[in-house]
Structure 1
């Protein structure tokens, strides 16, 4: 493998591993706010018990997410020095804003969330849960803004010459609200809501299936199902709107999504298929003119195909982008079907009698995570050969001093380290789930409106 491909694989691996955790923490935070809000409203101690249990899992996810995210910042300097110089002014602003406005808020009130059960009122604890969740969502804002600027640069000018050229902000808010940032942020947020809510659904479906903590798990399942159902339906609309933005701002990427090669012609939409990039042919099941209809509302509207662009400006791994995009869409539709069916059964008061469905939900936690990963791969590989769209090619963004064997060696080390971290995470998560909710119940003589015990003291 050449240096560029190795460096891309290394960065993709570290980002993909890190991206397991932030969506979980964002989505789980939303469900936690629901539990705490319902406890304030109903005074039902079971909602406080659920909040205590899930806060411990939130802290575990948050900790590993922070640890795995640090590595990427070092990779910018070691493997992508030219890129770092080019985008330093842009990324510096966005990442500084994340630290000031998001991470400080999230980590600060996480302390109150974890250790404040005996120290603050239930109302203040609810506010802390809300602020921690908002902090995690604000963190996503600045990361997505930085990444979206790579996709659709705005609010900048170029200074310097040759290897010293770099982008410099001329309009901060134009940079923040670049043409793709809002669409992509909403898409990321809702994907995170799905990831977190399906984690809660999975655990409590497992408890119901095993006939453990049945009554309290039914309450948790209903809250998480409401979040998941709304999010699944909303994601369909947001995904469609985001794809229309890609059609305007990155037409070569959209062409790769559907394997559309004709220079300027009506574009089909494939349900399943395979792209042969050498022959520039796609085989599979398609809806003739389907992509044209989704983009423009007309089955015969012309869409720019890959042949419209110079060969050096086209995505190269077209089949990879095609498959990841279509699997992402398929999972999204499956999540809609699953949540709507469960909601229908809940309305009919038959949901929790369906043990087979509880088993399905126990494993369905993998689906939103997989969809989030596939969506990221589609967006990033589909942007190639540009690391900053239209401005800086990936091949030109590499560090000049790094050697292939150095990248390969560090990739192997990262793989070993991350496998160990993931194993530890699964072990700790499984331990907390198997341990159950008993230690988090409010004792009979405790006044739940004035006193809470500290869940950190429990084993």
Structure 2
């Protein structure tokens, strides 16, 4: 039934499907863990129970999301052995230790102190509980550090030698870990995670304001989210520009695909929109701004930017996917900046929490961060094709010797299973949001008066209460 399909292509689709699910969870938990730490710090500083109540609501969501992230990450690890055994064999000496370091330094740390976060309310002091929250937040950043180091090494490999047997052997671990694209990719991804969380929180806060429920909690959510949008979204634009300049230096074919640029040009225009026709090597229906691409990429109006024709056809990535994914990512980033500026204006006018159109706007942008992250990863991963390790190993040579039918069947099983499991997880998260914060008792009452543990509230089915 599937014999005519390419098993490598099916394996790529399968890995893309599973990693697309997985990346959503770290992108959320990295930002959410740090925000929870800020919430608990504010509670300890002010004694305002609203911060504790918001914390206890979102820590449940964090626990569910963290669990789904772990499950989806384990699945990807298995795929490296089942579908990409040649890649694992050749690059395992480099990537294996990096992924092992992530488990030893980050995952164990997160898993250990997550228990204190969830079940330590009546067992440890408030400051000890806050320390556990901070440790989990740091653990998520350490995890991102190692995973992005491994991925960045595949994009800009260095610090290794290729032996006669074709295996990659590390020669300088510092060069491997801190490869040329890693600092830019790490900061860009972590910032994206913070913005993803901010817009989810803003959307929930706006929903509560729109429904006129949990008003004090909603103001905390929306207000803190807008602080992130005001200050961090513009910074992300600058970080993206720096990352783009690094990519131009080390992966110029990816940049040419992003720009939809076929001919090497001086004073290259910026193509806002168009349709890259890879067969005829032209971007049709292009809407251009003269010289702007050269200005952005080279900081000169007459700077030279190499076009895709500079490289053979078999060295070019799928241009349309990279071109449009990049524009989706940048477009969402601009919407985030506009949202932050709008929130600032409304705050100065004392209308931030009662402007209906802004509530609708924030609710509509709730998934914006996830969409931007997915689009960004499509640019990153599709843009380096045809290589799995840039310049050294092609994706077509990295797959396991598999037949098409078992790969297609496992792909189908993944789609069905993920739809059920993660659909149920998403439903439960939405249920927690609908239930809202538990306002009947505080995390510690009046600083140190211990209340029932958090686990007793995990299954709460109480509806929203007007405040």
Scaled to the shorter chain, the TM-score interval is over 0.9
- Report the counterpart of residue 464 of structure 2 in structure 1: none
| Residue 260 (str. 1) matches residue 261 (str. 2) | yes
Report if aligned partners of 1:32, 1:129 keep a CA contact under 8 Å in 2.
yes
Q: Secondary structure at the match of 1:352?
A: coil
CA distance in 2, matches of 1:175, 1:440: 52
CA distance in 2, matches of 1:35, 1:256: 42
CA distance in 1, matches of 2:59, 2:451: 14
2:8 to 4, 19, 22: 4
- Report the counterpart of residue 296 of structure 2 in structure 1: 294
Q: Secondary structure at the match of 2:353?
A: helix
CA distance in 2, matches of 1:94, 1:280: 39
- Report the counterpart of residue 137 of structure 1 in structure 2: 141
Unaligned runs of 5+ in 1: none
Change (3 A) 1:319 1:29: same
TM-score, normalised via structure 1 length: 0.96
| Residue 417 (str. 1) matches residue 423 (str. 2) | no
Q: Give 1:450 shift.
A: 4.3
- Report the counterpart of residue 322 of structure 1 in structure 2: 323
Q: Secondary structure at the match of 1:298?
A: coil
Report if aligned partners of 1:253, 1:383 keep a CA contact under 8 Å in 2.
yes
CA distance in 2, matches of 1:176, 1:450: 46
Q: Secondary structure at the match of 2:192?
A: helix
Residue pairs, 1:73-112, within 5 angstroms: 73-112=77-116
CA distance in 1, matches of 2:106, 2:135: 10
- Report the counterpart of residue 369 of structure 1 in structure 2: 370
1:146 to 143, 147, 150: 150
Q: Secondary structure at the match of 1:19?
A: helix
Q: Give 1:284 shift.
A: 2.1
- Report the counterpart of residue 453 of structure 1 in structure 2: 452
Q: Give 1:422 shift.
A: 2.3
Moved more, 3-12 or 446-455: 446-455
Q: CA RMSD in A?
A: 1.4
Moved more, 284-293 or 325-334: 284-293
Q: Secondary structure at the match of 1:398?
A: coil
Report if aligned partners of 2:95, 2:150 keep a CA contact under 8 Å in 1.
yes
- Report the counterpart of residue 435 of structure 2 in structure 1: 435
Q: Give 1:267 shift.
A: 2.3
Report if aligned partners of 1:21, 1:64 keep a CA contact under 8 Å in 2.
yes
CA distance in 2, matches of 1:134, 1:336: 27
- Report the counterpart of residue 404 of structure 1 in structure 2: 404
Report if aligned partners of 2:262, 2:308 keep a CA contact under 8 Å in 1.
yes
Moved more, 321-330 or 449-458: 449-458
Report if aligned partners of 1:49, 1:440 keep a CA contact under 8 Å in 2.
no
Residue pairs, 1:12-161, within 5 angstroms: 12-161=16-165
CA distance in 2, matches of 1:265, 1:85: 43
Q: Give 1:81 shift.
A: 0.8
| Residue 305 (str. 1) matches residue 307 (str. 2) | yes
Change (3 A) 1:124 1:440: farther
Q: Give 1:439 shift.
A: 5.0
Unaligned runs of 5+ in 2: 461-467
- Report the counterpart of residue 287 of structure 2 in structure 1: 285
Change (3 A) 1:86 1:229: farther
CA distance in 2, matches of 1:205, 1:438: 18
- Report the counterpart of residue 463 of structure 2 in structure 1: none
Change (3 A) 1:440 1:250: farther
Q: How many residues align?
A: 453
TM-score, normalised via structure 2 length: 0.94
Moved more, 336-345 or 60-69: 336-345
- Report the counterpart of residue 219 of structure 2 in structure 1: 218
CA distance in 2, matches of 1:452, 1:391: 58
